A and B are shown apart, each in its own frame.
Chain A
Amino acid sequence: MTAQDDLRPTLVALSDTKLLLGYHYGEWTFGPPAIEAGIAACSMAQEEFGHTRLLHGILKREFELEIDPLADLRPPEAFASIAFLDRRLESWSGLVAANAVVDVALSLVLSSFEGGSFQPLARVVPKMLLEERFHAEHADGWVRLIESEGGPVREALREALAAALRDAAAFFGPPGHDAELVRAGARTTDDDALRHRLCARIAGLVQEPSAVGLVEGTGGWALADEPAWNEWDPDRRRLAAGGPDQGMLDELRGTKNVAFKTA
Chain B
Amino acid sequence: MARPEQVFEVFARIAPGDPMSHIGTLNAPGIELARVYAWRIYDEEDWVDMWVAPRVAILSAHPDQSGPLPAPGRIQTPAG
Selected from B1, B2, B30, B43, the residue in CB contact (under 8 A) with A141 is: B30
Interface centre among A34, A36, A146 (most CB of B within 10 A): A36
B interface secondary structure, majority: mixed
Asked if A155 is an interface residue, CB under 8 A from chain B, the answer is no
Stretch at the interface among B13-21, B32-40, B54-62, B71-79: B32-40
Residues of A within 8 A of B39 (CB): 134
How far apart are B77's CB and chain A's nearest CB, in angstroms? 30
How far apart are A134's CB and chain B's nearest CB, in angstroms? 6
* Bound complex: CA A37 to CA B36 (Å): 9
* Bound complex: CA A138 to CA B39 (Å): 11
Asked if A87 is an interface residue, CB under 8 A from chain B, the answer is no
Residues of B within 8 A of A34 (CB): 5, 27-29
* Bound complex: CA A140 to CA B30 (Å): 12
Asked if A137 is an interface residue, CB under 8 A from chain B, the answer is yes
B1 and A33: CB pair below 8 A?
yes
Asked if B26 is an interface residue, CB under 8 A from chain A, the answer is yes
How far apart are B57's CB and chain A's nearest CB, in angstroms? 18
Residues of A within 8 A of B5 (CB): 34
Residues of B within 8 A of A40 (CB): 36-37, 40
Residues of B within 8 A of A137 (CB): 32, 35-36
Task: Give the tally of cross-chain contacts (CB within 8 A).
Answer: 50
| B-contact 0/1 string along A114-155, CB 8 Å cutoff | 000000000000000000001001101110111011000100
Asked if A7 is an interface residue, CB under 8 A from chain B, the answer is no
* Bound complex: CA A149 to CA B29 (Å): 11
Residues of B within 8 A of A140 (CB): 32
| A-contact 0/1 string along B40-77, CB 8 Å cutoff | 11010000000000000000000000000000000000
Selected from B1, B28, B35, B37, the residue in CB contact (under 8 A) with A153 is: B1
How far apart are B27's CB and chain A's nearest CB, in angstroms? 6
* Bound complex: CA A105 to CA B2 (Å): 30
Interface centre among A137, A140, A141, A144 (most CB of B within 10 A): A141
Asked if A248 is an interface residue, CB under 8 A from chain B, the answer is no
| B-contact 0/1 string along A146-182, CB 8 Å cutoff | 1011000100000000000000000000000000000
Task: Give the A-binding residues of B (Cβ under 8 A).
Answer: 1-3, 5, 26-30, 32-33, 35-37, 39-41, 43
Show 5 A/B contacts (Cβ-Cβ < 8 Å), sorted by A: A34-B5, A37-B37, A134-B36, A141-B36, A149-B1
Task: Give the B-binding residues of A (Cβ under 8 A).
Answer: 33-34, 36-37, 39-40, 43, 134, 137-138, 140-142, 144-146, 148-149, 153
